Amino acid sequence: MLKHYIIIAIRNFFKYKLQTVISITGLAIGLVCFAYGINWLKYETSYDGFYPRSKQIYMLYGVDKQTGKKTEQLPLILARRLKQDFPEVIETTQIYGKYASDFSYNEKRVPNPDEVFIDENFFSFFPQKVICGRQDNILQSLNDIAITRSFAVKLFGTPEEAFNKVLSSGYEKSLRIVSVLEDTPDNSMFAGEAFELDRHARKAEQEIPEANQWMYLNTKIYLLLDKNTHIDAFEKKITDYTSTHKYNETIFLKLIPITDVRHTFGTELSFNLTYIRTFAITGFLLLLCVFFNFINLQINRTYIRIREMKLRSAIGAGKKDLICLLLLEYSLMIFIATLLAWSLMEVTSPLFRHVFHTAIGNKDLYADMIKISLFSWIITILISLPLSLRFIRTSQLLVSGGVAPHRKSWFRKIAMTTQLGICVFFLMCAFILLKQTSLMKNKNLGFEKEGLIQITMLNDDRDGTAHEIVSLPIVKELVIASFFSIMHEPFSLTEVEWEGKGPNTKVNFHILEVSKNFLSTFQIPLLKGRELEDTDLVKGTRRLMSSKALINEEAARIMGYTDPIGKKLSFWNNQQQDVEIVGLVKDFQSTSLRNPILPVIIILNPSQWKSYFYYAKVNPGNEENAIKAIRNAYKKHAFPHDQQPEITTVNEVLKELSRSEDASLQLFSLLAILCTLISIFGLYSISSGNIAQRRKEVAVRKVMGATSRAIISMFVREYLSIALIAKLVALPLAWLFMHGWLEQYPYRISIHLWMYITILLLTIILIISTVLYQTLKASETNPAEVIKSE
């Protein structure tokens, strides 16, 4: 019997080819998108959740009272005091500042590995798998070092060969490898190639008076809390701890689970948690759209088969047999859709991991795919069973001579309204995203970005390399920029003093240490005063420093100066620096467009040629040739151990910083297209089936005098009413969603009425175009032919 049912199902698949293809393909695409979204969200929110006591480990961070800016760096003394004063704190561990250094063994050298400076408790908080060497209390002295498998392979070939060897670094000539660890998992914030006990921060702490230690922010602090600790209550207790005791009155303290650290402080991530959640939600909405489309098409196809069911009932098929036949067809289609989804996932998973920088395993994807498919199957059966029972009863009544009950179309209308609403939601979101990304791409940044190339150099002979670049005929200008690069969250200073500053005023200033040709190269207008000159450098306590500065309009506004020329500023820049303002420049975007224009202080770079970031100016259109020439210049001064420089155009830098926005636009555009196609094809199939079932009604209306125009109007009004309800629900939801999304940008579009009208007209045109052909065909049918065939 089962074999017979399967043969019938396959025959029906081929008989109703369009509906079958739409149903299976749509459901497969929905399954794939939702599986990607839910797995990516689980992966990103599971960072460091695999450690044995991860639920008890929290990161402590500070929030500046004036600016609201979060900081991971806190005073080391705070960790000791919290453990001493609060019984909820079982233990603490610290991660100290990084100090870049090359490592070498005999003639081999590894430049600037990712080295993590920790304390003795680190591996009890975050245990690592040990391949060989010391298993417990791994780091016991300042001359011990633990390295990972990948680092061991670079220097020694195998982990076993690395054990007990002695390395030298720029800070220590004798570091013994006491353990070789397995590489840290990808979904961890504690990845590193080498782990060493800190000596720098702890030594500096001993040399500073206790009162000053509270202002020395250089340590990341993690707390292991008692498992019975009420987190909210404990956080309230420590929030004002530093203020109450007058240790540090500029910050208050907050707690965060270690699983949330990545997306709380990962400001430079291309895809933040908001985007990932959006991806998961939109994947669910797409699945919901295709699922309702799938159910609607199957139910519609079932009603088309009324004659088949009447015949089967007439020859003895019972209600149970007919229901089993229908449910088997639904189950078989879901199974085929799952197989297709697996195939699509196998093809697209490498691309997904590459584009979204994630390391989700196929095992997790396939496991979730099975769960989602089973859930979809259960929901399909639960929805289809009562509808199938009513349909079977209808067909049996007709066979026995009874009166067919009126077929209610409430489910069809709900399903069509839902999928059209999701379609409208995606179209509206994609339209707003298009306008926002267009605004960001065309925003005037206040400087000329064309022909500008950013160079990041970490090689030893940066001085010689820079002189070589300057001598290139293709390079018109070279700007020395110290640590200045355009990014989401730049380094900024709040402790800037000026005449007339209020006692409670705290503002984040962006300090740019650049060469004197910065303004001319970036083509930033000078509004008042003069530019910086070499004579502005004076001898400081540690090195040369700039005695003069330029500020932008925003800085002048914050300081309350209409004419800032001649005013004095004071701030800490590795040493106390007092400068005189000699020029006012026009506002320009020194960070990504996720930030408003910051107040900027521009000072002269004292290092002359030895910097980390440089900007080269070339003629627009010559960027690619210039990058090749700069790479060749770099090779002339590079040592074998030097890292390759990062050379890219400023346009590419800005494009990378707006990657999340571009990806959001592509995502919503793709989903809008998929939803629209699936909805339109589904609407076409359903409308054709519905009109075919109502042929007798159309014939009777024509006999009674109804015109073709009236019949067309009847059908079009029915589908437009469904569409109107969908829009009334979807458009406000789209506004609410996108309004919240736009709030994160200081430069954003306004959502205008004409945008709603555009989407409204577009969907109306699509719906009318979809059903018009079927209604025209039905209205022109000869009533006599219909009645004869019935």
Q: Is the dihedral of CA 191, 193, 199, 205 positive or negative?
A: negative
pLDDT higher than 70, residue 718: yes
pLDDT at position 220 is 93
pLDDT, tens digit (0-9, with 9 covering 90-100), for 41-89: 888 888 888 899 999 999 999 987 756 678 888 988 999 899 999 999 9
Strand 70-71, strand 57-64: pairing:
antiparallel
Residue 178 included in any domain: yes
pLDDT at position 407 is 46
Alpha helices in 114-148 (DSSP H): 122-125
pLDDT at position 55 is 92
Average pLDDT over residues 175-194: 89
Residue 125 included in any domain: yes
pLDDT higher than 80, residue 1: no
**Between 682 and 530, whose confidence is greater?**
530
pLDDT at position 577 is 82
For residues 373 and 332, the answer to whether their CB atoms sit within 8 Å is no
Residue 517 included in any domain: yes
pLDDT at position 21 is 83
Residue 438 included in any domain: no
Burial of 31 (0-12, 13-18, 19+ CB in 10 A): buried
pLDDT averaged over the chain?
83
pLDDT at position 602 is 93
For residues 119 and 140, the answer to whether their CB atoms sit within 8 Å is no
Residue 408 included in any domain: no
pTM for the structure as a whole: 0.72
Where does the pLDDT of residue 361 fall: very low under 50, low under 70, confident under 90, or very high at 90 and above? confident
Residue 236 included in any domain: no
Q: How many CA atoms lie within 13 A of 157 on its CB side?
A: 1
State how many domains the chain has. Answer: 2
Look at residues 180, 197, 214 and tell me which one is the last residue of a structural domain.
Answer: 197
pLDDT higher than 60, residue 399: no
d(CA 151, CA 109): 11
Q: For the range 670-674, what are the long-range contacts, defined as Cβ-Cβ under 8 Å and sequence gap of 24 or more?
A: 671/33, 671/282, 671/285, 671/286, 671/426, 671/430, 672/423, 672/426, 672/427, 672/429, 672/430, 674/29, 674/286
Q: How far is CA 714 from the centre of its chain?
A: 47
pLDDT, tens digit (0-9, with 9 covering 90-100), for 423-480: 888 889 889 988 988 888 888 999 999 999 999 887 777 888 888 888 899 999 999 8
For residues 278 and 664, the answer to whether their CB atoms sit within 8 Å is yes
pLDDT, tens digit (0-9, with 9 covering 90-100), for 467-522: 888 889 999 999 988 878 888 877 776 678 888 888 777 788 888 989 999 999 99
pLDDT, tens digit (0-9, with 9 covering 90-100), for 634-643: 888 887 767 7
For tokens 């990378």, the residue is 656
- What's 493's DSSP letter? B
Q: How far is CA 576 from the centre of its chain?
A: 39
Measured CA to CA in angstroms, residue 165 lies from 101, 136, 169, 198, 322 at distances of 18, 19, 13, 20, 76
Look at residues 599, 624, 657 and tell me which one is the last residue of a structural domain.
Answer: 657
d(CA 118, CA 194): 10
Average pLDDT over residues 269-279: 78
Measured CA to CA in angstroms, residue 689 lies from 692, 777, 778 at distances of 5, 13, 11
Measured CA to CA in angstroms, residue 46 lies from 600, 653, 723 at distances of 38, 29, 40
Look at residues 154, 179, 197 and tell me which one is the last residue of a structural domain.
Answer: 197
Structure tokens at 309: 């069911």
Residue 296 included in any domain: no
pLDDT higher than 70, residue 541: no
Residue 155, domain extent: 98-197
Lowest-confidence segment of 176-190, 270-284, 311-325 by average pLDDT: 311-325
**Between 319 and 237, whose confidence is greater?**
237
Residue 638 included in any domain: yes
Average pLDDT over residues 578-603: 91
Q: How far is CA 176 from the centre of its chain?
A: 40
pLDDT at position 557 is 93
pLDDT higher than 90, residue 531: yes
